Structure 1
Amino acid sequence: MNKFVKLAAAAAVALTAGTSAFAADHKLTISSWTGPGHGINAIMWPNLIKMIEEATDGKVTAEVKLGLAPPPAQMDLVMDGAADMTIIFHGYQPGRFVGTKLIELPGYEGNAEAASVAYWRVHEAHLAALNEHRGVKLMGLTTHGPGQIHSNKEVQSLADLNGLKTRIGGGVAGDVGAELGLIGIQVPAPKVYETLDSDAADAVAMPFESRKGFKLTEVAENVYEMPGGFYRGSFAFLMSQETFDSLPADLQKALAEKVFGEPASRMLGAAWDEIDNIGRAATEETEGNTITVASEADQAAYAEIATKVTAKILAELEAAGVDAQAAYDMVKAEMAAQ
């Protein structure tokens, strides 16, 4: 049994019974929208539940439920009280989030763990004032690994991307796609397999973890890899503010000090790195799958595009009231320090 199958099996147990072996005083409901074997459900939620249980001496636990709402509706689902916790991808709700685009910019050097820690720290210093997660309790912020182009057509250069029908999740990936000449198709991540399998799209912009998590090895045999990635993706793990406020003060304190914020963000980023490695290994092991690394000339050409996209996004942040250059510089400095 390989590592990913073991993770999926463990997730199945967690999804049906939770991870707690004891009777907790507070059992919370988690709404999650990826499949049971995806790393979010196989690693991230079980790890977060474990952190919550350990911090509260078993008084608080949770269980994951799937299919409660589509990805763009998750935050509202929690705000309406239909679930206690969830994960959101900020790019699924255009116009609702601006500050979150900062971490999605291309050109950052470092893995998802370093980026997620930097993300939380820059949020506290520069982005929290935007209050973009108002109405919910922010448990952690994270970003997946470098986003790449996965296609069912051969892609050997940047020029080959022009006119390619590509599923793009939103956020900065959309700005990048426009600069590359991609024809953007927006569907939630759980729909990428059928979108590619039906030839409704030629390609998808996602990190390496999706090779395994969304079975892209079967429907997108080619990966065009830009060192450092074309973009990253921003996620938040949220708890209902009403649920948090209903907990006894000592449990609120334990969660705030031992779980929420940087500890959760670091764990989540490390999990993204782990499943990225699994996805890359699956690609290398699957017959017919190829990884084409962008040439030095294409890397230089994309660096110019990245500079243009970065300037656009920093202008958006500045207009929202953020000291954009200081925030951008802080992300790079914090990532370098990890």
Structure 2
Amino acid sequence: MDRRSFMTKAALGGAAGTVALAAPAVAQSNPKINWRVTSSFPKALDTIYGAAETMAKYVAEMTEGNLTLQVFPAGELVPGLEAADAVSAGTVESCHTASYYFWGKDPTYALGTCVPFGLNYRQMNAWLYYGGGIDLLNEFFHTQNLHYLPCGNTGVQMGGWYRKEINSAADLQGLKMRIGGFAGKIIEKLGVVPQQIAGGDIYPSLEKGTIDAAEWVGPYDDEKLGFYKVAPYYYYPGWWEGAPVLSTLVNLDKWNELPANYQQVIATACEAANSNMMASYDWKNPAALRSLVANGAQLRPMPQDVLSAAYDASQEVYAEVSATNETFKKILESQNAFKRDAYLWAQIAEYNFDVFMMGQQQAGKL
């Protein structure tokens, strides 16, 4: 007797009742659900915007199309800088964004992306996935009617495009700069006038001289936006974004309504998209940087006095915010505790290996 014949006969016998009850249970655990995901990014920025599409693709594949997430570019459903508000209010089920865009509501939002002189990419992932970071952040995000999941990272970013050279901290006085997130509050202490401008509006603002400088991401995305044509000086590193996490924020009520297996599917898809996005940037940025330099971009290291002044200013701001915001303080202290240990390890093997290999690259031996 073959297996199919045996199973059919068993179903018709004493086990028939069990089989009849099992089918509806399976159907209930894999219901048809369609969600919308509003992005804070334009579709033209394929790597950042693409992380949400990658996540949605994984979700659809893992649920055989029963759970579908349709991604919309910034502005199609709601403006990019209003994405979290729309999700919290239930207007849209989910968004893909950088949570630090909303730090004005509460500085704690920034810690879900990054803060100046924070963790690097590998450290951030270690803290999120093994250091209890996701749970700590969700203690806060749940109070905003949101559920937080990491879903992408650019790695350390560049320090932006400047119409004039920056030779010392004194050159920052009165500088009008487009800068995202919590960094604007810190760079104000250096005399900069921060501007929060959406990605698509940065180029015309630089071109017209409405702003003097702008940061975005790094070579691959920056080349697409053409900043080198109107602001030739390209500084590094972006001390305010050592590892900016992109996140999927889900309306908390909608999240709680999901079957547990669907929650796990989305979390797994977000984690996979997080890794995928970083790999994509690491592959694309070298060629983009060569292209930018060939087209006139002038690379400049950020002056050391600027870095030192910015670091000191960041510590002042963190102390000020922590004095009145216990949640911010709790999460920041958790990140800092891990950062101290992480750099003890990083400077031993990884750093020395990378420095040696960089020397071989510079000597033309690779």
TM-score of the pair, normalised by structure 1: 0.75
Classify the secondary structure of the residue corresponding to 1:207.
coil
Partners in 2 of 1:273 and 1:113 — Cα distance? 13
- TM-superposed deviation, 1:88: 2.8
Task: Count the aligned residue pairs.
Answer: 305
Contact 2:161–2:234 (CA under 8 A) maintained in structure 1: yes
User: What is the aligned partner in structure 1 of residue 218 from structure 2?
Assistant: 208
Secondary structure of the 2:250 match is: strand
Q: Specify the alignment match of 2:43 in structure 1.
A: 36
- Pick from 130, 147, 162: which aligns with 1:137? 147
Work out the CA distance in 1 between the residues paired with 2:190 and 2:288. 25
Give the number of the structure with larger relative contact order, counting CA–CA contacts within 8 Å between residues 6 or more apart. 1
Q: What do residues 144-197 of structure 1 show as CA deviations (whole Å, max 9, x unaligned)?
A: 4334131123334443333222112231x1133213322222222221112112
Matched, 1:307 2:307: no
TM-score when normalising by structure 2:
0.70
User: Partners in 1 of 2:318 and 2:228 — Cα distance?
Assistant: 32
Q: 1:185 is matched with which residue: 190, 195, 206?
A: 195
Q: How do 1:314-325 and structure 2 match up within 5 A? A: 314-317=319-322, 319-321=324-326, 322-323=329-330, 324-325=332-333
Match of 1:52 among 55, 59, 64: 59
- Selected match of 2:69 from 53, 62, 71: 62
CA contact (8 A) 1:139 1:264 kept: no
Unaligned runs of 5+ in 2: 1-30, 351-366
Distance 1:238 1:225 in 2: 30
Structure 1 residue 290 and structure 2 residue 301: aligned?
A: no
3-state SS in 1 of match to 2:194:
strand
Shift of 1:140: 1.8
Residue 247 of structure 2 corresponds to residue 236 of structure 1: yes
- Distance (whole Å) between structure 1 residues aligned to residue 291 and residue 48 of structure 2: 19
Matched-pair contact (CA < 8 Å) for 1:166–1:203: yes
Distance 1:33 1:254 in 2: 23
Q: Is the 8 A contact 1:151 1:221 kept in 2?
A: yes
Give the greater-gyration-radius structure (CA): 2
Q: Judging changes above 3 Å, is the alpha-carbon distance between structure 1 residues 192 and 138 closer, same or farther for their aligned structure 2 residues? A: same
Deviations 1:41-66 (A, max 9, x none): 55312221232124324322222222
Partner of 1:328: 336
1:170 aligns with 2:181: yes
Percent of aligned pairs with the same amino acid? 19
TM-superposed deviation, 1:77: 1.7
One of 207, 225, 243 as aligned partner of 2:236: 225
Alignment CA distance shift 1:51-1:131 (3 Å): same
Q: SS of the counterpart of 1:45?
A: helix
Equivalent position of 2:159 in the other structure: 148
Q: 2:354 — aligned with what? A: none
| CA contact 2:179–2:214 (8 Å) conserved in 1 | yes
SS at match of 1:206: coil
The structure richer in helix per residue is 2
How many angstroms apart in 2 are the aligned matches of 1:114 and 1:223?
26
Task: Report the secondary structure of 1:150's partner residue.
Answer: strand
Question: Given the superposition, is the C-alpha separation of residues 312 and 220 from structure 1 closer, same or farther in structure 2, using an over 3 Å criterion?
Answer: same
Deviations 1:272-306 (A, max 9, x none): 55565565344233x22111113xxx325522430
Consecutive unaligned residues of structure 1, counting only runs of 5 or more, are 1-23
2:298 aligned partner, one-letter code: T
Name 2:364's counterpart in structure 1.
Answer: none
| Partner of residue 5, structure 1 | none
